Amino acid sequence: MVAYSGIQNNVIKGLRNRLLREILISLMINNITITTIWVFSANNRLANALSRFNREKLLLLCPKWQMNNGFLPDK
């Protein structure tokens, strides 16, 4: 309901939210429900490293990932 309300009230707009809006519309059209759960960052090292832009930890967790200049900002 929250996503539907955001789309109806034109709250979800702008270039950065375009993909999110398209995904939400597709989910609504196909009657797909997504359920989320909270995972503490201590239990999710990958998400924690990504959210903190920690290149070193990312390379330790995912050594096959190639870090190009556009993936993470420089320190």
- 46 & 71 share domain: yes
Mean pLDDT (10-residue bins), the chain, 75 residues: 62 71 85 83 83 86 70 53
Closest CA to 58 of 32, 44, 13: 44
- 71 & 49 share domain: yes
SS3 6: helix
- 23 & 49 share domain: no
CB atoms within 10 A of CB 37: 4
51 vs 62: CA distance, rounded Å = 15
User: In the prediction, which pLDDT does 73 show?
Assistant: 52
Closest CA to 61 of 75, 74, 44: 44
- 26 & 54 share domain: no
Q: How many domains does the chain have?
A: 2
- 32 & 50 share domain: no
Domain that holds residue 61: 42-75
User: In the prediction, which pLDDT does 7 show?
Assistant: 62
Give pTM, 2 decimals: 0.40
73 vs 13: CA distance, rounded Å = 25
User: In the prediction, which pLDDT does 8 show?
Assistant: 63
- 46 & 30 share domain: no
